[in-house]
Homo-oligomer: A and B are copies of this chain.
């Protein structure tokens, strides 16, 4: 049985630079967009600190969430609708799950989650099931509806087709962010022929498959993904900004645990520091709040906290060098010692950052991160895993690429009377 959905009197649209228009016909979608929990996503950037490298990347998760919804809507309404393998009763779940899939993201998610051991997926679930405007609207479709939406997002639902639409190696989420991030950064690598991919998607028992005739568009999508990861998402300058951000949060947490008296009290942070964050507290956090504190903390007494905040606010970032942990661990140990001697705390100012990506993989049971393969629907109706058909994909399949960089504040290492020789030694090792 399907859930209840009231239609709007007249379709509403949002002008969207990526998909031209986002179309809303269901009142429940319109109302979800209007909730304060969803509006909060306007205050969280889609790409965190990337705007410090690609100045166009100032777009929010609100933007992206509408985009994922629109792609899902087009698949469900224009491609799947009417096909016997697809249960139209799942339409509303798919739409709501796609719209809300990022609802639990906090400000500068990655750094935040890492330092405070949080998980945005748990918060997404908690917001959907908790005492929120979103929950009340979802309830209108049926008592069990919020739970079903949450399960799709958590990938624990047995509606495998719907899960695939939103979380797989080629899904509405990835398609939107590649196109959107390419559009806003201005890099051309992220473009691929989404129209073609949508047209060849087909629902099958427990998955979504792709007609063989669309294989080249999928190859292109996988290459776009690969390029966006290394050109944009793992850009060394953005990672350097991320390093500083992480260290600020880290420092604030440490200072708090040491009983440091903040000039500007971290009211919004206490429950975070103490690991007692409620959903209500969490929803009050967004990037304008975080930036407010960072600006205030520029004037803290603690030299490390204030320095790092000034660096972040004014974009005075760290320099970086290539680093090979396997071969250069001794060099790192040596540098660590020298930084200490120079009075520059290596905990905050000598940081190894590692990025790693697997462009595509077929199913390898038992591995840490099992990925469902992309299956092609052949002319005779059988399925073939993508890398068996595509030489390009076969060539890069399962090849993890990892990159390590060593970040440090170049400006601290310039000559000064006191530590002149140590700094010279450091500069010589870092070769700058």
Contacts and interface: CB of A to CB of B under 8 A. Distances in A.
A191 B314 CA distance: 33
A62 B55 contact: yes
Contact of A17 (B66, B183, B189): B183
Interface stretch (A120-128, A281-289, A365-373): A281-289
A15 interface: yes
Interface stretch (A89-97, A146-154, A391-399): A391-399
Contacts of A34: 315-316
Contacts of A288: 287-289, 291-292, 295
Interface string A225-250: 01100110000000000000000000
A329 interface: no
A322 to B, nearest CB: 10
Given A231-B216, A395-B395, A59 B56 contact: yes
Given A55-B16, A395-B395, A220 B227 contact: yes
A58 interface: yes
Interface in A259-292: 284, 286-289, 291-292
Contact of A193 (B63, B189, B199, B314): B189
A147 to B, nearest CB: 25
What is the total number of copies of this protein in its complex?
4
B289 A295 contact: yes
Contact of A216 (B14, B189, B193, B284): B189
A42 interface: yes
Contacts of A315: 34, 39, 42
Interface string A385-426: 000000110011001010000000000000000000000000
Interface string A288-326: 110110010000000000000000011110000000000
Interface size classification for chain A: 35 or more
A174 interface: no
A98 interface: no
Nearest to A193: B188
Most buried by B among A21, A63, A193, A289: A193
A2 interface: no
A171 interface: no
Contacts of A189: 193, 216, 220
A43 B188 contact: no
A192 B182 CA distance: 13
B188 A55 contact: no
B191 A188 contact: yes
Contacts of A314: 35-36, 39
Given A56-B59, A59-B58, A288-B288, A17 B185 contact: yes
A380 to B, nearest CB: 10
Interface string A166-190: 0000000000000000011111110
Contacts of A63: 55-56, 58
A231 B395 CA distance: 19
B187 A15 contact: yes
A223 B395 CA distance: 13
A169 to B, nearest CB: 17
A185 B43 contact: no
Contact of A192 (B51, B188, B193): B188
6 contacts: A15-B186, A55-B60, A189-B220, A219-B227, A223-B223, A391-B399
Interface of A: 13-18, 20-21, 34-36, 39, 42-43, 51, 54-56, 58-60, 62-63, 66, 183-189, 191-193, 195, 199, 216, 219-220, 223, 226-227, 230-231, 284, 286-289, 291-292, 295, 313-316, 391-392, 395-396, 399, 401
Given A15-B186, A36-B314, 10 more contacts: A17-B185, A21-B195, A43-B291, A55-B62, A55-B66, A216-B231, A223-B223, A284-B295, A286-B295, A288-B295
